[in-house]
């Protein structure tokens, strides 16, 4: 079952997000089970929303890659909110 994960980073910015994406090598080595990632500014900072094939896929990415990268960058991990997605539609280019 797919899940949606949101994390808000108080005081976060586009520059910080770009650097974290590079540190995680998301483009060169996409995490197994990742379906989508959307990020942008909110009133208090920065929000990242991601969609995963399963809770297990998210847990593996979070523990093996994201948590260590946040710690290395000195960024306090957000409190993640997770909910089950009943349906996911992500059109693929032809």
Tens-place pLDDT, residues 15-54: 999 999 999 999 999 999 999 999 999 999 999 999 999 9
Strand order in the sheet with 45-52: 34-42, 45-52, 3-10, 81-84
Are 74 and 9 in contact by the 8 Å Cβ rule? The answer is: no
Domain 3-84: give its CATH architecture: 2-Layer Sandwich (3.30)
Q: If pLDDT is split at 50, 70 and 90, which confidence band does 92 have?
A: confident
- Secondary-structure percent of the chain, ordered helix, strand, coil, rounded to 5: 30, 30, 35
Q: Where are the domains of the chain?
A: 3-84
pTM check: above 0.85: yes
Are 69 and 7 in contact by the 8 Å Cβ rule? The answer is: no
């Amino acid at each position: 079952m797919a899940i949606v994960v949101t994390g808000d980073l108080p005081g976060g910015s586009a520059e910080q997000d770009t650097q974290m994406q590079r540190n995680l090598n998301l483009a060169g080595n996409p995490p197994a089970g990742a379906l989508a990632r959307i990020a942008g500014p909110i009133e208090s900072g920065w929000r990242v929303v991601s969609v995963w094939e399963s809770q297990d896929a998210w847990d593996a990415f979070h523990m093996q890659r994201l948590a260590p990268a946040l710690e290395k960058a000195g960024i306090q991990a957000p409190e993640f909110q997770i909910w089950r997605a009943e349906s996911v539609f992500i059109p693929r280019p032809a």
